[in-house]
Amino acid sequence: MGSAREFDVAVVGASVAGCTAARLFAQAGARVALIERHSDPAAYKVVCTHAILSPSTATIERLGLAPVLDERGAIRAGAEFWTPYGGWIRLPDDLPDAWGVTRRTLDPALRDLAVGTPGVEFFPGWTAKRVIADPSRVAGIEVEDRKHRTLAIRARLVVGADGRDSTVARLAGVPGRVRPHNRFFYFAYWRGVRPATPDFRLWLLDPDGAAQFPNEDGLAVLVATYHRSRMAEVRADLEGSYMRHLASLPDGPDLSDAERVSKLIGKLEVPNVIRPAARPGIAFVGDAALATDPLFGVGLTFAFQSAEWLVDETSGALGGGQELDDALRRYRRKFLWRLGPHHLLIADFSTGRKITLLERQMFRKAPHDPVMRRAFGEVLARESSAFRMVDPRVAVRLLIPSRPRRQHDLARTHPAGTSHRRVPGAEHDGGGVLHRSRPGDQRLLR
Ligand SMILES: Cc1cc2nc3c(=O)[nH]c(=O)nc-3n(C[C@H](O)[C@H](O)[C@H](O)COP(=O)(O)OP(=O)(O)OC[C@H]3O[C@@H](n4cnc5c(N)ncnc54)[C@H](O)[C@@H]3O)c2cc1C
């Protein structure tokens, strides 16, 4: 027979979504149990390419995480996309910063903050095993450690922040809706990649893809994305396929002076899964609520956002009962309204279908049409709803004939790496211009 404890909130999973929820709940005055199956407080998620989009920035700042990440050398990033139909599309530079920081740095830093927040009690090395249910609602979670000791954690609210294969959802009987995904990924870490840009660079190759994500300490992640139909061919010669894929990228990374500093890391199955983000007494945040295709780098952003929305909707209602359930319903609606349309768009694209005529037309327009570029940029940065593209002021731009495409349109319309974003190790010249401070790399960064 195990022992029992009582809290306002029990959060299962001490990664990005769970630590965000735990810290913000505790700062709002709640007593929080933060439960994590890994016993090492420095544990981090290995299979991730670390791009954090601009809508996370407000949450990162609210958590007090921004100065910590800055101190560790995180990149303040912009972003640009390449398509075969119009070349580069640069996201508007006046969006809030995106972030490039490895999970090896991010996860322990955020966990430190969460665990150090008064009101949070951390349970490392404990795994959620059973949901405690009062007849009509979830009332807590039973956890077990490596020695098979059990502990009943009773809480008014249980939060499943336990990732894409959420055990909490399974235990609570909240199934997800699965949408198919037809791409797979291989990536590795590099140093010395040129351009040493502070921008995320994404190639949408119809149907394959690729990405370059800058991180702290001069590390760049180079990702090759393939359509599922190529699985046997790629896996027959993994190293060769990966290097050929990178070498074939239009305006791709220059690896002549670069060194690969990791083995290849692969992820073959990433189905899109969405589930109701709340039921009486229980809520889901991050991947446990919505695990989506990693191609567009949205998972971390959705994790920060969903955790914050949950806290803002429910922290004033932790007395329990009807008030809490109403707050949970509001959270569930907000989650669906804000992320549902993005999810449908991403899941549809993740089937590996060909790019449609309408999308081609948008890709052709966006590099040259400021209204289209902004709308496109806001949707891809997840700053605006996917509905932004059907705003008549944007849609009407598609009716204006495109100018004939010239060869140079497919190359960049601006030098790679031109951005107002901050690159650690760079310094201002007083005129808003950044110079790299590393010897031998004095290219101007506008
Ligand atoms: C190949 C790949 C590349 C990606 N690249 C990006 C990217 O560039 N940008 C981006 O935004 N997203 C990316 N993602 C997605 C991103 O990794 C996830 O969206 C993000 O990790 C979700 O965070 P989370 O906190 O919800 O869950 P997780 O980070 O998965 O954390 C879940 C936590 O719960 C714990 N846990 C699980 N079960 C239990 C249990 N029973 N009891 C106790 N604890 C438990 C786990 O140990 C873990 O700490 C990528 C994903 C993949 C697969």
Inside any domain, residue 207: yes
Atom 26, ligand 1: which residue's CA is nearest? Answer: 286
Which of 291, 321, 348 represents a domain boundary (last residue)? 348
Residues 194 and 212 both lie in one domain: yes
Residue 346, ligand 1, Cβ within 6 A: no
Inside any domain, residue 439: yes
Mean pLDDT of 69-79: 96
Inside any domain, residue 284: yes
pLDDT tens sequence across 323-350: 999 999 999 999 999 999 999 999 999 9
Residue 294, ligand 1, Cβ within 6 A: yes
Residues 147 and 199 both lie in one domain: no
Substitution site in 19, 40, 44, 48 for ligand 1 pocket (most atoms within 8 Å of beta carbon): 48
Question: Which range of residues forms the domain containing residue 125?
Answer: 3-50+102-179+271-348
Q: What is the pLDDT of residue 402?
A: 63
The alpha carbon of 126 and the centre of ligand 1 are apart by a number of angstroms equal to: 17
Task: With beta carbons less than 8 A apart as the criterion, state whether 69 and 110 touch.
Answer: no
Residue 167, ligand 1, Cβ within 6 A: yes
Residue 303, ligand 1, Cβ within 6 A: yes
How far is the C-alpha of 131 from the C-alpha of 154, rounded, in Å? 10
The alpha carbon of 437 and the centre of ligand 1 are apart by a number of angstroms equal to: 35
The alpha carbon of 16 and the centre of ligand 1 are apart by a number of angstroms equal to: 7
Residues 259 and 285 both lie in one domain: no
The alpha carbon of 202 and the centre of ligand 1 are apart by a number of angstroms equal to: 21
Residues 243 and 288 both lie in one domain: no
Which of 295, 320, 348 represents a domain boundary (last residue)? 348
Q: What is the pTM of this model?
A: 0.91
Residues 42 and 119 both lie in one domain: yes
Task: With beta carbons less than 8 A apart as the criterion, state whether 20 and 304 touch.
Answer: yes
The alpha carbon of 370 and the centre of ligand 1 are apart by a number of angstroms equal to: 35
Inside any domain, residue 60: no
Residues 6+ apart with CB under 8 A from 430: none
Residues 262 and 284 both lie in one domain: no
Residue 141, ligand 1, Cβ within 6 A: no
- Three-state secondary-structure class, residue 290: strand
Residue 129 Cα to chain centre, angstroms: 27
The alpha carbon of 410 and the centre of ligand 1 are apart by a number of angstroms equal to: 35
Residues 193 and 135 both lie in one domain: no
Q: Report the percentage of the chain scoring pLDDT > 90.
A: 77
CA-nearest of 231, 227, 268 to 352 is 227
Q: Report the percentage of the chain scoring pLDDT > 70.
A: 89
Residue 14, ligand 1, Cβ within 6 A: yes
Residues 88 and 187 both lie in one domain: yes
In this structure, the chain runs to a length of 446
Tokens coding 127:
């795994």
- Specify the CATH number for the domain of residue 376: 3.30.9
Query: Mean of the per-residue pLDDT values for the chain?
Result: 89
Residue 15, ligand 1, Cβ within 6 A: yes
Which ranges in 251-320 belong to alpha helices (H)? 299-314
Inside any domain, residue 232: yes
The total domain count for the chain is: 2
Residue 48, ligand 1, Cβ within 6 A: yes
pLDDT tens sequence across 155-180: 999 999 999 999 999 999 999 999 99
Q: What is the pLDDT of residue 421?
A: 52
- Specify the CATH number for the domain of residue 16: 3.50.50.60
Atom 41, ligand 1: which residue's CA is nearest? Answer: 128
Inside any domain, residue 70: no
pLDDT tens sequence across 404-443: 555 544 555 444 545 545 444 443 332 222 222 232 222 2
Residue 45, ligand 1, Cβ within 6 A: yes
Within 13 A of 234's CA, how many CA atoms are on the CB side?
21
Q: What is the pLDDT of residue 404?
A: 55
Residues 300 and 404 both lie in one domain: no
pLDDT tens sequence across 301-312: 999 999 999 999
Nearest 5°: the CA angle 312, 314, 315 is 75
Residues 22 and 148 both lie in one domain: yes
Atom 27, ligand 1: which residue's CA is nearest? Answer: 163
Which of 331, 348, 365 represents a domain boundary (last residue)? 348
Inside any domain, residue 372: yes
Atom 19, ligand 1: which residue's CA is nearest? Answer: 299
Tokens coding 407:
């060869």
pLDDT tens sequence across 88-117: 999 888 888 899 999 999 999 999 999 999
Residues 258 and 388 both lie in one domain: yes
